[in-house]
Copies of this chain bind each other. A is one copy, B any other.
Amino acid sequence: MSLPHAILTALIEKPSSGLELTRRIDKSIRYFWPATHQQVYRELGRLEEAGLIRALPSSGPRKEYEVLPAGREELVAWVARPEDPKPLRSSLLLRLRAAAVVGSDGLAAELERHRALHQAQLEEYLDIERRDFTPRSEAEKDRLQHLVLQGGISLESHWVSWLDAALAELARPAPHDQPR
């Protein structure tokens, strides 16, 4: 149940219409919880029905939503609520496991491709860090957001390093098969 809370967070920062909200999510929150406009609209409907947000009186087709006190309370409660991490699902690790059984033909190219993707994401995070965060003396709010960013940086660094090791290992001749 994370998407509704992502929306509450964004709406508290600034009341928005569905599409505007989608765009704002796509500019920051999507890095650790992506959402399409269809999901956003569906959740906005549910949150309104649950009495956590309300639509502001509007002119035209745009519907602006703001968070009600009950919505803020729910978000405060959710921050402390125990919730286990989602189990890992990596099709890349699965494919290495499959390659151990049927051979690793063509796998290296795919590992290279993933390495490039993670490297690009890492650089995007580092750009954001250089642009938005100073090295020290940050306000509580900034410090928490900086922590989130550092989590992403550390995660992408892990993948790049591991892919480097995997590629080196794939390139290494097999000690038993090769030297005969």
- Check if B175 sits within 8 Å of A93, measured CB to CB: no
Is there an interface contact between B72 and A34, defined as CB atoms closer than 8 Å? no
**Would you call B76 and A144 a contact (CB within 8 A)?**
no
Main secondary structure, interface of A, reads helix
Contact at A103–B83, with CB atoms within 8 Å?
A: no
Q: What sequence of 0s and 1s flags, for each residue 83-100 of chain A, a beta carbon within 8 Å of any chain B beta carbon? A: 111111111111111111
CB atoms of A162 and B169 under 8 A apart: no
| C-alpha spacing A147/B97, complex, angstroms | 9
Is the beta-carbon distance between B33 and A94 smaller than 8 angstroms?
A: yes
Q: Which of B5, B8, B104, B143 contacts A169 (CB 8 A)?
A: B143
Pick from A15-23, A42-50, A52-60, A151-159 the stretch touching chain B.
A151-159
